[in-house]
Structure 1
Amino acid sequence: METVIGVIGGSGVYDIEGLEDARWQAVEGPWGKPSDEILTGRLDGVRMAFLPRHGRGHVHSPSSVPYRANIDALKRLGVTDVVSVSACGSFREELAPGDFVVVDQFIDRTFAREKSFFGTGCVGHVSLAFPTCPRLSAACAEAGEAEGIRIHRGGTYLAMEGPQFSTLAESKLYRENWGCDVIGMTNMPEAKLAREAELCYASVAMITDYDSWHPHHGEVDIAAIIATLKCNADKARALVGRLPALLGASRGPCPHGCDRALDYAILTAPDKRDPALVAKLDAVAGRVL
């Protein structure tokens, strides 16, 4: 199978440099328009697809990002591996602004978003015990280390609804009682939808601040975040640039089963399935439907 790397760029990351045959193309599906056109091309012989999560010019808030349309569009382009890059706050002293964390767990506190491709007329339940792909995550960590980025392997990401930042009480709860490592607003339901679409998914959290818990840093400073974002964006592009060589132009089945997540997930009997919903699932779940 051909490797096709999809990159979802968060705040500050709006393109990929060095793509051959690069072009922005519109991809529409039954779940609506994605956040923006998708930049496609090749890097070191490997097909790439880049989608700015908030749209170029940052037009979507975390709550208005069309997550289902984004994942569906990447799947329609043949993407096999999705790398999410996003700005985050840190709950740990050792996870400093400018550091990257390759996330491997999530706590979802969002509440205003559609979180599944499945529903009435075609019910599906995927396993999310291990929501990221270890193989793809390891490649991201290796790429970051090769670029000299201070990168941490593993961490729990608290996904909040936003768009406001945390209160001090919330920040302390997530850090002290829940054991979270970073906080962001966009990796959920993205990771859930990627699993439903049988895509390998890795999350690279770019730390911009210490949220509001840190006694010596005070509340979140937007000006400081923007300055760190610019530096992090350059690091993120460098990390992504190393992935084609690490992943290769072809791949076998995911050793962790990400690409077979729907094998036993759909419970609705074939004769009871809603034809309209089944039609919308043509890209996401076509392999099993």
Structure 2
Amino acid sequence: MLGIIGGTGLTQLANLKITRRQLIRTPYGEPSGPLTFGELGGKSVVFLARHGSGHTIPPHGVNYRANLWALHSEGVRDIVAVATVGGIHADLGPGTIALPDQIIDYTHGRKNTYYDDVDKPVIHIDFTEPYCPRLRGLCLQASRQSGEPLIDGGVYAAMQGPRLETAAEINKLERDGATMVGMTGMPEAVLARELEISYAAICPVVNHAAGRGSSAHGIRYEEIGAVLDQTMERVRNLIEQVVMNHAD
């Protein structure tokens, strides 16, 4: 079954025929909210809002382990996550949508593994390719079919938040090879890998990163809001096409 994790600006899926909502109890506490089960284009899908239905949970406060565990417990084996980012690379201006193929983790203090109990064996998972090539291909196919362009590839820098970055920090991230910056890409991706869930991320760019483009002298939230509304409509079109193409 396909799961969709919605980020900032995507707390529900349009045109989703909802069949039920269920709050899942997990060994890691409560997830961000109930799972929403439904059908889209005749295909089954499960949706979860990462920040809660009212967008009240900050990036560092998300219970990522509970979220992924809840989805896995209900039979989700593929996840397409939506995560808004700031664009570092010149090609990633506000309103573009990227499909990253690599990630660098700068977060700290987050529960980032299921293998941290003393009564469990130490497990080292391969994370060379953090995003599933098959799901990335499905997203690219949906891009062509829907006419919503995707930038194929990029390096997601996962920052702690909730504050935004300094211009100097963005310069460092660029030197490290990052092309976009966000706050929710990790540990979500690695927890999915530990549960053997295939995972890909669609990243709408809602602002230039600090010190870049229109953000050279600061980031204006009113501008982000306008871009977010417009870009999320395109993201919904992409997601709907991904769901319709997905093999249950």
Residue ranges of structure 2 left out of the alignment (5+ in a row): none
Structure 2: how far apart are the matches of 1:235 and 1:216?
22
SS of the equivalent of 1:17 reads coil
**Percent of residue pairs identical:** 35
1:6/1:49 contact within 8 Å kept:
yes
CA distance in 1, matches of 2:188, 2:59: 11
Q: Distance in 2 between matches of 1:44 and 1:248?
A: 12
Q: Separation in 1 of the partners of 2:214 and 2:76?
A: 43
Equivalent of 2:10 in 8, 13, 22: 13
Is the Cα–Cα contact under 8 Å of residues 10 and 54 in structure 1 kept in the other structure? yes
Alpha-carbon distance between aligned partners in 2 of 1:192 and 1:208, rounded to the nearest angstrom? 24
Q: Which residue of 2 aligns with 1:265?
A: none
Query: CA–CA distance in 1 between the matches of 2:57 and 2:85?
Result: 17
- Cα distance change of structure 1 residues 27 and 95 upon mapping to structure 2, 3 Å threshold: same
Q: Distance in 1 between matches of 2:37 and 2:173?
A: 38
- 1:80 matched to which residue of 2? 77
What is aligned with 1:188?
186
Find the residue that maps to 2:148 and give its secondary structure: coil
Normalising by structure 1, we get a TM-score of 0.82
In the other structure, the counterpart of 1:202 is: 200
After TM superposition, the score normalised by the length of structure 2 is 0.95
- Whether 1:150 aligns to 2:114 is no
Find the aligned partners of 1:30 and 1:50 in 2 and give their Cα distance.
Answer: 20
Name which one, 1 or 2, has greater alpha-carbon Rg. 1
Decide whether the 8 Å contact of 2:208 with 2:214 is kept in 1: no
Provide the rounded CA distance (Å) in 2 between the counterparts of 1:21 and 1:58: 20
Matched-pair contact (CA < 8 Å) for 1:9–1:84: yes
Question: Letter of the aligned partner of 1:165 in structure 2?
Answer: L
Tell me if the contact between 1:88 and 1:209 (Cα under 8 Å) persists in the aligned partners: yes
> Deviations 1:195-235 (Å, cap 9, x if unpaired)?
00100000111101111131554222211111111112211
Gaps of 5+ in 1: 250-289
2:42 corresponds to which of 25, 42, 45? 45
Match of 2:61 among 64, 77, 99: 64
> 1:211-222 maps to which residues of 2 (within 5 A)?
211-218=209-216, 219-222=218-221
Decide whether aligned partners of structure 1 residues 138 and 214 sit closer, same or farther in structure 2, where only a CA change above 3 A counts: same
Aligned residues: 245
Instruction: From 98, 105, 109, give the equivalent of 1:112.
Output: 109
Give the AA of the match of 1:145: R
- Aligned pairs (5 A) from 1:245-260: 245-249=244-248
The answer to whether the 8 Å contact 1:141/1:152 transfers is no
| Backbone CA RMSD of aligned residues | 1.3
Question: Structure 1 residues 22, 227: CA separation in 2 closer, same or farther (over 3 Å shift)?
Answer: farther
- In terms of mean alpha carbon deviation, does 27-36 or 237-246 score higher? 237-246
Secondary structure of 1:51's partner?
Answer: strand
Q: Which runs of 4+ in 1 moved over 3 A?
A: none
